[in-house]
Amino acid sequence: MKKFLAMVLLGIVACYTAGCRKPAETRQTFKWEIDRFADIRILRYQVPGFEQLTPRQKELIYYLSEAALWGRDIIFDQNYKHNLKIRKTLDAIVEGYQGDRTTPDWENFMVYVKRVWFSNGIHHHYSTDKIMPEFSSEYFESLIRGSQGVAFPLEEGQTIDDFIAFLKPIIFDPTVAPKKVSQDPSGDLVANSAVNFYEGLTQKEVEEYYARIIDKNDPTPISYGLNSRLVKRDGKIVEEVYRVGGKYGPAIEKIVYWLEKAAAVAENDQQRRVIEKLIEYYRTGDLRKFDEYSILWVNDTESAVDFINGFIEVYNDPLGMKASWEALVNFKNPEATKRVAVISENAQWFEDHSPIDPRFKREKATGVSAKVITAAMLGGDCYPSTPIGINLPNANWIRRTHGSKSVTLENITYAYDQSSLDSPFGPEFTYNEEILERIKKYGSLAGNVHTDLHEVLGHGSGKLLPGVSSEALKNYHSPVEEARADLFALYFMMDPKLVELGVLPDEEAARAEYDVQIRNGLMTQLTRIQPGKTIEQAHMRARALISHWVYEKGQPDNVISKVTRDGKTFFVINDYQKLRQLYGELLREIQRITSEGDYEAARALVEKYGVQVDQELHREVLERYRKLNLAPYAGFINPEYTPVVVDGRMTDVKISHPDDYVKQMLHYGKAYSIL
């Protein structure tokens, strides 16, 4: 064990040398940012290490990538019931419009199209507000009528006039489907959300339906409702299950086809069983099989290549039950994995030293398996906007009994960092040069370690009291859970243990992370909010909650001060150790809320600290931000994989990095559309 640690220490120390993880020339020659529109930048990611994989591993990645791309129609349809029709219409116009493509109207139209592609639908991927076009419905009509040689998705017997009349309000009327996911607890969360998980039902009906079928005494409950659309038909409530022969059947058949090919070239038996079980689940829609698959998957820690493919995360469901389809193909980054392995191996130490009530601690912090991966293909809800860390499976009893798998997508964070090296953002919102330099020096590493702690230990720490359901916090579950994982990370960032383990070089790195978190939570994440709106996204609510809470509680000791200079607001941390103690206190309370399922306390905390926006500060931040002329969101286009086939056998797979966002989207729309 000691030898392993020493090796890791060397590896980590080497990583502090600037740019060691990538050859220096890539920085100059690789074009990271390829497109920019509205509030979005489109980046590319590299796939370092792909060339070094074996031909069989490359073949496996190729098949899994095809399976990842075939779910694109599913996520569009899940996000809103008319999204597919709209996307097909937009694609057809881009391909077939014969008129002038140099006018401002056309430019605005293309911005709209790019935004719909980016969000997998007509609602903003982050705010979930409906995207309003900056061109008229008359212009839109002229585009449809002026397109040739392309087919529009007309219903049988529908005339083009009817078709246009049908689409206009859906796209242009701000009162039609204004919100993908409503979080407003004063209204009906189901009826007020455009997301396509429920049809013709009220929140009350949905809640009653599941209350009837959920077995509260089952120690190993299935994830009820995870893979279905709930609809009311002829007065009866029916679950339309996503499976071969069921809802989304044709797309799932394609996914299964490629998964079968992948199973045939699996790296080992365990991985083959994982893929075969997933196929079984896709064929039957049986959620017991999904649990069996999840257990096999979490136990597959040996394979270099890995993947996620399915109905996984529930963020898009206002009730937190139904999952969006997503996919990610990846392979292990062995060097960087050593860093998280150290954290993971010490899981018990962290659990023991966590500031939470001992009643809520896990006696045995087991099975936290963590690795740093290189993303090779993004699909569904992970594309083009992608997470940088993932921790699965989500079922609590599986996590408790079998552990969970945590991954950090380092080639993705690397692309983010590289693409914003010279951004004016830091100088604008950072109080002084000293803090800015510290963030530049440590920010990337500290950010990665924060993600590691959040994913590897944070989500997996603590336990629910017997009888408390993970759904107890309802619509506050996601922000509270994210806050819990973030607080765990923040509290331990500053612990001398991290330096002792060689994960961080010194306390300065932790300070850099605190600087970034406070700056973001109190101020800069407001750049992602429209004027007059409140905070809705779960991670943002979590960060706002944490920062506002510690800011308020630290007032007597002036832990964080608000400073104004030349009319510009800054938040400056005066006492890093006291701030750490406050993070610990809040972690203790958030864990209590989670463990006891204290819905009222969760509601009070989130609504008071995580939702509201200081209007005046918001105006100022938006104005400062606007002057920088930046885009707050980024996403990625995928590389392309081309098989080399000799005598009917795949002998190699070539990777290339296209740089045309429009082309990739049109290509996907043609090659991977079946619903």
Query: Where along the sequence are the contacts to Zn ion (CB under 5 A)?
Result: 482, 485
CB of 367 to Zn ion, least distance (A): 18
Q: Cα separation of 333 and 4, whole Å?
A: 17
Q: Which is nearer to Zn ion, 265 or 392 (CB)?
A: 392
Locate 319 and state its tokens: 């009730």
Peptide bond into 496 cis (omega under 30): no
Q: Which residues of 112-137 are buried (b: 16+ CB within 10 A; e: fewer)?
A: bbbbbbbbbbbbbbbbbbbbebebee
Beta 633-637 vs 640-646: how paired, if at all? unpaired
Least distance in angstroms from the C-beta of 12 to Zn ion: 23
How many beta carbons lie within 10 A of that of residue 217, not counting itself? 6
Question: CB-wise, 410 or 482, nearer to Zn ion?
Answer: 482
Residue 205, both tokens: 């009906």
Tokens of 9: 């220490």
- Name residue, tokens 């270099």: 304
What the block records as the tokens of 533 is 């709106």
Between residues 451 and 638, which has the closer beta carbon with respect to Zn ion?
451
How near is the Cβ of 308 to Zn ion at its closest, in Å? 15
Least distance (Å) between residue 462 CB and Zn ion? 14
State whether residue 491 is helix, strand or coil: helix
Residues 6+ away with beta carbon under 8 Å from 432: none
- C-beta nearest to Zn ion: residue: 485
Residue 450 CB, nearest distance to Zn ion (Å)?
11
Nearest to 461 by CA among 404, 419, 511: 404
Are 571 and 561 in contact by the 8 Å Cβ rule? The answer is: yes
What whole-number distance in Å separates Cα of residue 472 and Cα of residue 346? 30
Cα(336)–Cα(371) distance, integer angstroms:
8
Q: Is 327 helix (H, G, I), strand (E, B) or coil?
A: strand
Least CB distance to Zn ion at residue 453 (A): 11
275 versus 485: smaller Cβ distance to Zn ion: 485
Count of Cβ atoms closer than 10 Å to residue 641 Cβ: 21
- In the complex, least distance from residue 448 CB atom to Zn ion, rounded to whole angstroms: 15
Query: CA-based angle 640:643:645, to the nearest 5?
Result: 165
C-beta pairs of 159-168 under 8 Å, 24+ apart in sequence: 164/140, 167/82, 167/85, 167/86, 167/89, 167/140, 168/137, 168/140, 168/141
Cβ-based nearer residue to Zn ion, 82 or 539 = 539
CB nearer to Zn ion: give 295 or 485: 485
| Closest by CA position to 463, among listed 351, 603, 314, 343 | 351
Alpha carbon 307 to its chain centroid, in Å, reads 15
Is-contact 369 337, C-beta < 8 A? no
Instruction: Supply the minimum distance, in Å, between the C-beta of residue 455 and Zn ion.
Output: 6
CB count, 10 Å around CB of 80? 23
Are the C-beta atoms of 130 and 123 separated by less than 8 Å? Answer: yes
- Min dist CB 613 to Zn ion, Å, is 22
**Residue 37 or 315 with smaller CB distance to Zn ion:** 315
Nearer to Zn ion, 46 or 294 (CB): 294
Q: How far apart are CA 399 and CA 410, in angstroms?
A: 24
Torsion from C-alpha of 387, 393, 396, 402, nearest 10 degrees: -140
Smallest separation (angstroms) from Zn ion to the CB of 538: 9
Closest to Zn ion by CB, 485 vs 590, is 485
Of residues 73 and 481, the one with the C-beta less far from Zn ion:
481
* Ordered strands of the 33-37 beta sheet: 33-37, 40-44, 633-637
What whole-number distance in Å separates Cα of residue 364 and Cα of residue 347? 9
Phi and psi at residue 228, in whole multiples of 5°?
-150, 160
Q: Are 384 and 635 in contact (CB under 8 A)?
A: yes
Q: Minimum distance between the CB of residue 535 and Zn ion, rounded to whole angstroms?
A: 16
Compute CA distances 462 → 408, 478, 491, 602, 638, whole Å: 21, 16, 15, 17, 37
Write down the least CB distance from residue 390 to Zn ion, Å. Answer: 9
Q: How far is the CB of 452 from Zn ion (least distance, A)?
A: 12
Residues in the chain: 675
Closer Cβ to Zn ion, 88 or 399, answer by number: 399
By beta-carbon proximity to Zn ion, the closer residue of 296 and 483 is: 483
CB nearer to Zn ion: pick between 39 and 482: 482
Least distance in Å: CB of 459 to Zn ion?
6
DSSP state of 639: P
**In whole angstroms, how close is the CB of 13 to Zn ion at the nearest point?**
28
Residue closer to Zn ion, measured from CB, 73 or 482: 482
Between residues 409 and 485, which has the closer beta carbon with respect to Zn ion?
A: 485
Closest CA to 29 of 7, 51, 44, 10: 44
Q: Which is nearer to Zn ion, 59 or 482 (CB)?
A: 482
User: Which of 207, 223, 211 has the alpha carbon at shortest distance from 396?
Assistant: 223
Provide the minimum distance between the beta carbon of 354 and Zn ion in the complex, in angstroms, as a whole number: 17
